[in-house]
Amino acid sequence: MGATSWLRPKALLPLWIAVALMVDPQVPSDQLTLAEFGPKPAFADDDGGGDDGGGQSRSSDGSGTIPRRSTGPNLFRTLTDRFLPRPPRRGGRRVRRPAVPLPSRAPDQIVATGLSSAEIGRLQATGFTVLDRADIQLLGSELIRLRIPPNMPLEAARDRVIDAAPQSAADFVHYYRPGQEVECAGPHCAAAGLIGWPAVTGLPAGCGGNVTIGLVDTAINPAHAAFAKGRIEVLRLSDDGLPESGRQHGTAVAALLVGGADSRTPGLLPHARLIAVDAFHRGDRQDDRSDVYDLLRALDLLSVRGVQVTNMSLSGPANALLEQVVRKLAERGMVIVAAAGNGGPKAGPAYPAAYADVIAVTAVDRRKRPYRRAGRGDHIDLAAPGVEVWTAASVSGARPKTGTSFAAPFVAAAAALMKSANSNATAADIHDALGKSAEDLGAPGKDAVFGWGLLNARAACAVSQKKAT
């Protein structure tokens, strides 16, 4: 066997390649390079890959598409398939394992408010454990985070808490996440011009005074050049023992709102004051998440600080306590603007955007077409630029961003202008004025894709001044 091993197919492969090069007229020797035998270049499409390009690859600078090269038969593959046959796939098709979805709630916790000391004691006697407690001035009550007894189903534990104190409110500890960030390779669009956003010097009289905006988001890089001359205050709520969330999302959203006028990423209201509450942490699945306990604390903190407009570029499930707090904030005049979510047209409503007291914002591109991953539904109120929006990167510099997260700040900034023009305007007044002044897109009137239509910043400011007079 050893004497004839050179006759085996593997040993003959180099010889057959040499012979083929001499006799195959379809492959000229001056066109055959080592690159033909190596892996073909792959170009990343960070905006979804596969459902936009029509089968073509995107150039690395995003400027266009790269046609596929044709160099005749793939000699290397032909010969290796002949002499080194690949083992057959099982079933003839590669089976992809479905991605495990991120958790939507803590598996063993309940959050409640309105419990008396005696009621808490009785729950503890049945196996509940108090993990955290915080005074929520907005509710005039203490917020309690409870760990449920071992082996008790989560739904049964919630019902037990409600039964123990009929006057209380209780729900799961739901998780909320920043809108999925999608990096874009193309040139950024003039988002502010799309909605008629006036330059700082072009703001109508009485519609650009000092204003404080609230932001509930991930960690922010306050040392970014975009905030060098701004008035930004960052408050972190999460336990110091938890890993800090990423700074990409929060920094980008904050820069859209208050980025310096002379920076690479000028914000919509560069002279405004921003109170940013970092209510997120890095989860065990390496996802940025905030649970409802910290969201309620963040909103209560902004209310105590007198914030009248708050941006929430995040989404998650419906929660009874979050709905209660949002309603009370609206009654007190706070305008809450939230991203509609990037789950796609068939996804269910995302919260807090889907609450009636919140302005739900979807995203459109520079041609006023809907962002293909944006959520839809009767709860959608307004559309704003959210595709290839130029804003700050997490460490330094800038880059385009895409998602409903980056559309919400445009509406929040417009609401802040209106509030500065008429401090007596209620949340409902501003909600109504923004809808009436919007540029109708899609089906006439309010629809599930665009809501009332594209934000019209200049008209919205004029409407607020009329109400003030």
* pLDDT tens per residue, range 424-467: 899 999 999 999 999 999 999 999 999 999 999 877 666 555 55
Question: What pLDDT band is residue 405 in, cutting at 50, 70 and 90?
Answer: very high
Q: What is the pLDDT of residue 12?
A: 61
Give the rounded percent of residues in the chain with a pLDDT score beyond 70: 71
* pLDDT tens per residue, range 73-89: 455 555 555 555 555 55
Residue that is written with structure tokens 């809450």 in the block: 336
Whether the predicted pLDDT of 254 surpasses 60: yes
Nearest-angstrom CA–CA distance, 335 and 432: 11
CA angle 242, 243, 244 (to 5 degrees): 115
Q: What is the pLDDT of residue 235?
A: 93
Asked if the peptide bond before residue 153 counts as cis, ω within 30 degrees of 0, the response is no
Question: What pLDDT band is residue 351 in, cutting at 50, 70 and 90?
Answer: very high
Q: What is the pLDDT of residue 297?
A: 96
Q: Where are the beta strands (DSSP E) in 168-264?
A: 169-178, 182-183, 212-217, 231-236
Nearest-angstrom CA–CA distance, 207 and 465: 7
Amino acid making up residue 207:
C
Amino acid making up residue 408:
A
CATH number for domain 105-173, candidates 2.60.40, 2.40.128, 3.40.50, 3.30.70: 3.30.70
Please count the other Cβ atoms lying within 10 Å of the Cβ belonging to residue 199: 10
Q: What is the pLDDT of residue 453?
A: 97
User: What is the mean predicted confidence (pLDDT) over 11-22?
Assistant: 58
DSSP per residue, 136-176: ETTTTEEEEEEEPPTT--HHHHHHHHHHH-TT-EEEEEEEE
Residue that is written with structure tokens 């407009």 in the block: 309
CATH number of 177-468: 3.40.50.200
Whether the predicted pLDDT of 210 surpasses 80: no
Q: Where are the beta strands (DSSP E) in 281-357?
A: 281-282, 288-291, 309-312, 314-315, 335-339
R_g over Cα of the chain: 28
Residue that is written with structure tokens 């509030």 in the block: 419
| C-alpha atoms less than 13 angstroms from C-alpha of 457 in its C-beta half-sphere | 27
Query: What are the catalytic residues?
Result: 217, 249, 405
Tell me the two tokens of residue 248.
Answer: 């990409």
Q: Does residue 235 sit in helix, strand or coil?
A: strand
- Residues contacting residue 29 through CB under 8 Å, at least 6 positions apart: 21
DSSP state of 313: -
Whether the predicted pLDDT of 102 surpasses 50: yes
Nearest-angstrom CA–CA distance, 428 and 431: 5
Q: What is the pLDDT of residue 263?
A: 87
Whether the predicted pLDDT of 360 surpasses 90: yes
Given a contact cutoff of 8 angstroms between Cβ atoms, the answer to whether 143 and 113 are in contact is yes
Nearest-angstrom CA–CA distance, 449 and 373: 11
Tell me the two tokens of residue 466.
Answer: 């009329």
For the chain, give every domain's residue range.
105-173, 177-468
Q: How far is CA 81 from CA 90, 138, 331, 335, in A?
A: 18, 71, 72, 65
Whether the predicted pLDDT of 332 surpasses 90: yes
Q: How far is CA 213 from CA 39, 136, 302, 415, in A?
A: 51, 20, 9, 10
Kindly tell me the burial class for residue 54, based on how many C-beta atoms sit within 10 Å of its own C-beta (0-12, 13-18, 19 or more). exposed
User: What is the mean predicted confidence (pLDDT) over 402-412?
Assistant: 96
Whether the predicted pLDDT of 97 surpasses 80: no
Whether the predicted pLDDT of 401 surpasses 50: yes
Whether the predicted pLDDT of 24 surpasses 70: no
Mean pLDDT, the chain, rounded, equals 80
Nearest-angstrom CA–CA distance, 53 and 45: 9
Whether the predicted pLDDT of 199 surpasses 80: no
Whether the predicted pLDDT of 66 surpasses 50: no
Nearest-angstrom CA–CA distance, 164 and 175: 25
Q: Does residue 76 sit in helix, strand or coil?
A: helix
Weakest-pLDDT range from 88-92, 189-193, 279-283, 294-298: 88-92
Whether the predicted pLDDT of 69 surpasses 70: no
Closest by CA to 115, choosing from 72, 152, 162, is 162
Q: What is the pLDDT of residue 180?
A: 54
| Higher pLDDT pick, 201 / 131 | 131
Closest by CA to 143, choosing from 105, 172, 115, 121, is 115
DSSP state of 67: P
* pLDDT tens per residue, range 213-245: 999 999 999 999 999 987 899 999 866 778 999
| Higher pLDDT pick, 2 / 263 | 263
Residue/partner pairs of 73-78 with CB below 8 Å, 24 or more apart: 73/24, 73/26, 73/27, 74/36, 75/17, 75/20, 75/21, 75/24, 75/27, 75/32, 75/36, 76/17, 76/36, 76/37
